[in-house]
Structure 1
Amino acid sequence: MATDITVPSLGESVSEGTIAEWLKQPGDAVAVDEPIVSVETDKVTVEVPSPVAGVIGELKAEEGDTIEVGAVIASVEEGGAPAAKGDEAGRAKQQSDAAPKDKGNEQDSVPNSTGEVSGTDFDAAALSPAVRRAVLEHGIDPANVKGTGKDGRLTKEDVLAAAKAKRDAPAPSQAEDAPVPAPAASGARNEERVKMTRLRQTIAKRLKSAQDTAALLTTFNDVDMTAVIETREKYKDSFAKKHGIKLGFMSFFAKAAHLALKDVPSVNAQIDGDEIVYHDYVDVSVAVSAPNGLVVPVVRDVDKKSFAQIELDIADFGKRAKDGSLTMDDMKGGTFTISNGGVFGSLMSTPIINPPQSAVLGLHRIEDRAVVVDGEIVVRPMMYIALSYDHRLIDGREAVTALKIIKEAIEDPARILIDL
């Protein structure tokens, strides 16, 4: 008996998605609750599991197709045996043995390590379209590349890394009578068109909407990171031993932001029509880099959580963002955003708010700079911080005050402990 696989609910206000990748192909065996397809929505990628055990039947949508919630996208034959096994596999082998072993044999082919196309027992059907394109373009044998994706699947980055290693490897010596390959055409100018993912399209729309709707303004300050760096160095070993997580900068800034948002409530508020919504809690959206773009999962109740719990939450979000297991609930809500461009080397930026929020804190790289302290020039580890805000709701005085509170709390972390 065949069981239809339908698109499940993808979250509040989400009515459709895009087939990102088929994890199973017709004839593949599947267990109960085993993922068979990943569906990309405006915010996250969701894996759809099989409700029954059996064999994958017909796929009714292709990768890249837009599908609505509730639509039938595949079927599973319950209790069946995988195709191309048992008698069918034996017959296939006999036919293969009987066929003449020459270059005319038809078989799935992929490029080998020399860039030539040759037969392989690697499952080329398991590769996503982007990976297959990269394999063919760079002449890489996927059987010789270790996959770093989920369940060991090959990613485009794996292929590009293998291609770079191949280019950097010393060329093998050639015999004097070996034919010299014709030189590649010089001045080649290649282009590639890739359809924007739904996530990237949504990011583009939301950021442009923020610019079109909000009255954006950014205020800057710089922070002496000496005290936080010394605190981390002093307690890092005991902190990691007790809590099982490293003490990072983000927990300090999250706690410092809580002090600022409590004293300047408008920075933690949002505009809803002709009303202002104030929040008596602090849910911080943390910008995390994922393979398909920037996502902002929410660390909830920062005002009530310890440094350790904040660090554990952020580490968990980072891990799940990489393997694509963030859920819609992880992304919902948020009253304030912290974006750390410093991990990528950014010295200064003007971050864009995350609607409907009204403010975002931008962190940047730490670098030694000469500053004047008590009338003397000293070298200190300094960081520029930026607060972008919606001027429709937040006045300049309030924004500057909030950023100053964050600066003072970071330069003197004791303020966080005594709620000053």
Structure 2
Amino acid sequence: MVIDVKVPTPGESIAEVEVAVWHVSSGDLVRKNQELADIESDKATLSLTAPESGKIEILVEAGTTVKVNSIACRIDGSVAVPEQSPAPDAGLTAANTNVEAKATEDVKPSSEPEKATDESKVKHPDIKVTPLAREKMDAENIQMDELLAGLRKLTSKDVDAYLEWQKSGTNGDSAGSNREMNRSRMSQLRKQLSKRLVQVKNETAMLTTFNEVDMSALMNLRRKYQDEFVKKYGFKIGLISFFLKAAANALKLHPMVNSMIDGDEILSPGYIDISVAVQSPKGLMVPVIRNVDKLSLPQIELEMQQMAEKAKAGKISLEEMTGGTFTLTNGGVFGSMLSTPLINPPQSAIIGMHNITDRPVAINGKVEIRPMMYVALSYDHRLIDGKDSVGFLLDVKRMIENPASLLSGGKNPDKLLLGL
């Protein structure tokens, strides 16, 4: 029985996706639940998995944009798949040999095209052929030599170019010898990111305010209790967790920074879900940590650990990147000293962390060297006034410089003790 494998839908608002990469080739034997391909949309990356075991026929080449629910490949479930692959140095069993032979018969119309293809591989080992192109060549009994000969003629310019390449170095690795222009398709994720960044510049009255934070108390706290923390929880506590907790407390004190514009109305959520910008192999992703104000520092750090692992694997879902009310980004991990982060719509504000450098600062009338960090808050001035934006950043600064205040919701512990 042949099964049609359709392109999954990442969400209701998405009609088209891109088949980013195939992990198998047409004609391969695949097992049930095996990952076949990565499907990339403008918001998330999904895996295309095999519903049944059998031989796969790929209908859509990698890099092609297709509609959701269209057929990406077919699986012939009548072809038996061995339960375990044989060892590399072991001979094929009779059963496996029959399966290989049957799979070959289904793909190759005759033995002659197969022989021609193998000879072409020997003559042109550097030329790669896609599975679909090879299938067409086999069907029409076209050899690679014939195909290459029919494409173009060599001219004197080609000979001159080759001679210049020889003079520049045997592999063309010498400085200035490689002037090729590489062209690649922009991913759906990158396309959507580009649109959103332009949208922010065109549709918001974005302004950025800055401050600096003395990181001494926080770094001493981490240094003092890091080993004990790791022993209890199994992972280290990072700086971002403290900033997330401080931002959540400051958002409670300045709820307008946690709000957003919807037409002629202002939406003010009764919860605090903070998006965290994460760099992944597929580009920038912004997953959301829910109810940050209600989480402890170990819980926030655990969420961060799990989120980072998913980002590296490119497995963050659409739901995990939807619904944030505020965003945190950390350019300091790349060495950034100062920046103006762009708002993540429809949110109205974003805080940016930067690298920590030892700088001379005035402490009680004396110059001391302290670990300092610049922090930035970009906000939509249509909604957030200077009082709230500056006050928010000052409260974050105060809580980071006095980490114990994080336990009291950002309020001064001394004043709470005195009932002030």
CA distance in 2, matches of 1:124, 1:110: 10
The structure whose Rg is larger is 2
Q: Which blocks of at least 5 consecutive residues in structure 1 are unaligned?
A: 112-116, 127-180
Instruction: State the SS of the aligned residue for 1:246.
Output: coil
Amino acid paired to 1:107: K
The alpha-carbon deviation at position 394 of structure 1 amounts to 0.1
Q: Which blocks of at least 5 consecutive residues in structure 2 are unaligned?
A: 83-91, 105-110, 132-165, 412-420
Q: Which moved more, 1:23-32 or 1:265-274?
A: 23-32
For 1:183, which of 138, 149, 168 is the aligned residue?
A: 168
What is the correspondence of 1:21-420 to structure 2 with a 5 Å cutoff?
21-57=21-57, 59-81=58-80, 86-87=97-98, 105-107=119-121, 117=126, 182-184=167-169, 188-419=178-409, 420=411
The alpha-carbon deviation at position 61 of structure 1 amounts to 1.2
TM-score (structure 2 length as normaliser): 0.78
The alpha-carbon deviation at position 380 of structure 1 amounts to 0.2
Instruction: State the SS of the aligned residue for 1:86.
Output: helix
The alpha-carbon deviation at position 8 of structure 1 amounts to 1.7
1:10 corresponds to which residue?
Answer: 10
Could you list the per-position Cα deviations for residues 167-188 of structure 1 after superposition, in whole angstroms to 9, with x for gaps in the alignment?
Answer: xxxxxxxxxxxxxx74337654
Q: Which moved more, 1:213-222 or 1:242-251?
A: 242-251
CA distance in 1, matches of 2:298, 2:11: 30
* Residues 274 and 78 of structure 1, relative CA distance in 2, 3 Å threshold: same
Identity %: 43
CA distance in 1, matches of 2:185, 2:299: 39
The alpha-carbon deviation at position 383 of structure 1 amounts to 0.1
CA distance in 1, matches of 2:288, 2:123: 45
Structure with the higher helix share, 1 or 2: 2
Amino acid paired to 2:44: V
Runs of 4+ more than 2 Å apart = 81-85, 87-92, 104-111, 123-126, 181-190
Amino acid paired to 2:97: G
CA distance in 2, matches of 1:12, 1:352: 27
Q: Which moved more, 1:26-35 or 1:66-75?
A: 26-35
Instruction: State the SS of the aligned residue for 2:293.
Output: coil
Say whether the 8 Å CA contact 1:38–1:48 is kept in structure 2: yes
* Residues 34 and 109 of structure 1, relative CA distance in 2, 3 Å threshold: farther
Could you list the per-position Cα deviations for residues 286-308 of structure 1 after superposition, in whole angstroms to 9, with x for gaps in the alignment?
Answer: 00001121100001110111111
Could you list the per-position Cα deviations for residues 228-263 of structure 1 after superposition, in whole angstroms to 9, with x for gaps in the alignment?
Answer: 101101111111111112111011101100111001
CA distance in 2, matches of 1:183, 1:75: 48
* Residues 44 and 262 of structure 1, relative CA distance in 2, 3 Å threshold: same
The alpha-carbon deviation at position 374 of structure 1 amounts to 0.4
Say whether the 8 Å CA contact 1:366–1:382 is kept in structure 2: yes
TM-score (structure 1 length as normaliser): 0.78
The alpha-carbon deviation at position 372 of structure 1 amounts to 0.1
CA distance in 2, matches of 1:110, 1:402: 64
Say whether the 8 Å CA contact 2:20–2:39 is kept in structure 1: yes
CA distance in 2, matches of 1:331, 1:341: 20
Aligned residue-pair number: 349
CA distance in 2, matches of 1:358, 1:303: 18
Say whether the 8 Å CA contact 1:245–1:308 is kept in structure 2: no
The alpha-carbon deviation at position 105 of structure 1 amounts to 3.5
CA distance in 2, matches of 1:81, 1:182: 55
